[in-house]
Structure 1
Amino acid sequence: MKKVYYILLLSLTLFNCDKTVKQDHTSTTETFYYPTVANFQNDTLLKKVELDSLDNFEELLNIADEIVCDTKSPLIYFENKDAIFKFLIDKDCSIAFNIADYKERNIIFIQGDSIIINDKMSKPFDSIEKVLNNHILNKGKNPKYSTSIEKAIIFYHQDSLFKSIDIKEQLLKISNAFNGIRNTNGDSIPLKIKLQEYGYIYIEEPPIPIK
């Protein structure tokens, strides 16, 4: 009788192990990394920020500032039913005096539902796919867009009460548009995003003096 019980117990154990393995292998969740997966190798310098736990842009800005002032990098994390998204976001520390010099043409500025290009043009946010293609893949050809893939960057600013769910929606659209670029041009292309404390200020060019 002991042999019968032992065989029965062993059979049940093997059956349960096989079931667990099948469940693990059926997982289809994909993870997207930005700028690139290579930026996530030293995870001791990263600090996770779950976007769904925040209320608005002001809260995101404050938390990101604390992280960068502590010489770490904010990792904005969220997920949906299809995938996990991890964005390493840049930001200047508010108590430091580091000045980064960017050429205007290397920046597109996202604010509200607008994309500002090269300090001159404004496009609706729904045109993000076309704008990203022009901006990132320009390679210095069009003077309105970036000088190179490596220098192309997005500056991102919203009103302080802009909800985190709306930030998430915009980041998803940016991700979808950018993934199309990666699918045709390779995974090594980076997506760089930098949070901005202050909004874009339109400066009108003075009229040409009449002689």
Structure 2
Amino acid sequence: MKKLLLIIIAINLLYCKGKAFDENQKVKYYPSEKYFESNGVVEIDLYNPNINFKKIYRRVNELHVNDSTPYFEITHDDTLRRIMPLRNDWGHGSSYNILGISKDSIWKENGYPITELYKLLKKHYENCGKNPQYSISAEKAWVEVELDTNATGSDLEKALLNLTNIFDKLNRTHADTLELKVGLSYFSQIPPPPPPPKDAENINIGI
């Protein structure tokens, strides 16, 4: 019985990885703290092993439809990040206002590796309508995280952590006046074609 209890405690500790809150931790809000003033904010647990990215995406939309506001929590080093995924129906949705990213790529122009994210975020937020392929203003700038439907909460956590770290670096050059508006989308899974019939090799096609 004691051994079973220890196993349960160990599982709970693993499940709650990154969830503990320290009063001395810094807390950062994305887009900004004012978005979290609503009473209807609901956390979506990225550490739940039973949900994939597609389920997370659907849960986000479900909460928005029901007038609730979803958010994620990510703890890294001494900082707790609270990130609110927004729906792409706030007037930001024109393609030029969206900078699409995946775990390894950036979807702008002919595409860029994710290692170029700082340069592309800077161009996106500071464009001010100069380049028609980028946001018309910093206020309209939007970043959309696109992952495979079978990606995990951990995959999303890594993508968001990388994004917020790089955004924070850019934001410091703007006296922390920028807001990071994040949306989600996913790649549709296309099933592989069926295998050829077993007797296909025995079929002779005449010309």
- The alignment's TM-score, normalised by the length of structure 2, stands at 0.72
Against the structure 1 CA distance between its residues 166 and 197, is the aligned structure 2 distance closer, same or farther, given a 3 Å change threshold? closer
User: In structure 1, which of residues 173, 180, 186 is the aligned counterpart of residue 175 of structure 2?
Assistant: 186
Alignment of 1:1-211 (within 5 A): 28-42=24-38, 44-54=39-49, 55-91=51-87, 102-117=93-108, 120-197=109-186
Task: Name the structure with the higher helix share.
Answer: 1
Q: Unpaired segments of 5 or more residues in structure 2?
A: 1-21, 189-207
% identical equivalent positions: 25
Which AA in structure 1 matches 2:121?
Answer: L
Corresponding letter in the other structure for 1:73 = T
Cα RMSD of the aligned pairs, angstroms, is 2.3
Contact in 1 for aligned 2:148/2:187 (Cα 8 Å): no
Larger Rg: 1
User: What is the distance in 2 between the residues matched to 1:165 and 1:100?
Assistant: 30
Counterpart CA distance in 1 for 2:79 and 2:92 is 35
- Equivalent-residue separation in structure 2 for 1:191 and 1:143 (angstroms): 20
* Alpha-carbon distance between aligned partners in 2 of 1:110 and 1:69, rounded to the nearest angstrom: 25
Aligned to 1:13: none
TM-score under structure 1 length normalisation: 0.70
- Matched to 2:35, the amino acid is N
Structure 1 unaligned spans of 5+: 1-25, 93-97, 200-211
Aligned residues: 166
